[in-house]
Amino acid sequence: MALIEVKHLKKYFNTAGGILHAVDDVTLNIEKSTTLGIVGESGCGKSTLGRTIIRLLEPTSGEVCFKGENITSLSNKEFKHLRVGMQMIFQDPYASLDPRMSVSQLIAEPIQTYKLTSSKQELEKRVSDLMDTVGLAARLKNSYPHELDGGRRQRIGIARALSLNPDFIVCDEPVSALDVSIQAQVLNLLQDLQKERNLTYMFITHDMSVVKHISDEICVMYLGQVVEKCQAKELFKRPLHPYSKALLSAIPIPNIHVKQHKIEMKGELTSPIDPKPCCRFAPRCPYAKDQCFASEPQLTDCGNHHYVLCHRVNEI
Ligand code: SF4
Ligand code: MG
């Protein structure tokens, strides 16, 4: 049994312009102690998917099972004991940290909120262990977020997520706001923690090199839909969806002698408001034919656990 099972999940928002299909019929599994990478341009529904899976947002329809239990059907009260098992690390730790709280207060807060201990000594011990675990020096415990650099602030965010001993963490662009030199340190920390604590990650990013480095499996998202799903290695060796091909061909190859074959996407990401029943990538796809504008493609099983949402996957 997978730790996370998502079935036909939808999250729609009513907007002045119509119904925004932020997450539109997503089905996926995440096996325990693995990382599922979610990649796509901003606005494709990655963050909304992550938030809906851990019920920071209520789904419009569909199902999420956590350790075999359907959490979508639980009341808030029933869900509370499972909430500690599903945590999130945010892109901008600065925005998600209360500037008036010190490092130790920030890390203690979730433990206090969920009443995991009533002993002051035990709480202090847990906070100092967590600071050590994420590589924050003990002398920083009375510092405030504005006194720290982005990498250390993200370490506070990671310590807060870990403080409740979760099984599953949604990492939403956790290194995108950091300097490149610090990105690798934080990624390595997340990978070490995964091994030590058997953590399961959903790792959201728009950066193909980051997703390649960190993921076991990858879902490529486009306008609320998963358009390709496979093992990470397989995606980089054999991308099958035209959108994945375009994303991959946009990664610069660090060798001036290799002539890079770029697949150009036409135009911009269109809006996921009231989408028409056709391939959502069709207006930008270099392979689009009449059929692509006339009906919605179905997910095709291409073997080797590789799934693709494209009418023409067997021709191109
Ligand atoms: Fe391109 Fe057609 Fe495939 Fe859509 S269904 S990705 S338009 S070839
Ligand atoms: Mg986002």
- The domain ranges of the chain are 4-85+166-309, 100-165
Tell me the pLDDT band of 159, cut-offs 50, 70 and 90.
very high
Distance 9 CA to ligand 1 centre (A): 23
Task: State whether the beta carbon of 292 lies less than 6 angstroms from ligand 1.
Answer: yes
Closest to 168 in 3D by CA, of 208, 136, 203, 116: 203
Mean pLDDT of 213-229: 97
Distance 26 CA to ligand 1 centre (A): 18
List, as ranges, residues with CB under 5 A of the ion ligand 2.
47
Distance 220 CA to ligand 2 centre (A): 14
Distance 279 CA to ligand 1 centre (A): 6
pLDDT greater than 90 at residue 316: no
Half-sphere exposure of 51 (CA within 13 A, CB side): 15
Taking the CA of 92 as reference, the closest ligand is 2
Task: State whether the beta carbon of 285 lies less than 6 angstroms from ligand 1.
Answer: yes
Q: Which two tokens stand for residue 249?
A: 């061909």
227 CA closest ligand 1 atom index:
6
297 CA closest ligand 1 atom index:
5
* Calculated CA dihedral for residues 65, 68, 73, 79, nearest 10 degrees: -90
Residue located nearest, by CA, to atom 3 of ligand 1:
310
Mean pLDDT of 14-28: 96
- pLDDT tens-digit readout, 85-121: 999 999 887 788 999 999 999 999 999 999 999 999 9
User: Best mutation site among 241, 243, 284, 287 for ligand 1, i.e. most ligand atoms within 8 A of its Cβ?
Assistant: 287
Distance 272 CA to ligand 2 centre (A): 15
Tell me the pLDDT band of 265, cut-offs 50, 70 and 90.
confident
- pLDDT tens-digit readout, 226-257: 999 999 999 999 999 999 999 998 766 555 55
Distance 129 CA to ligand 1 centre (A): 51
Query: 4-85+166-309 belongs to which homologous superfamily?
Result: P-loop containing nucleotide triphosphate hydrolases (3.40.50.300)
Question: What pTM did the predictor assign?
Answer: 0.94
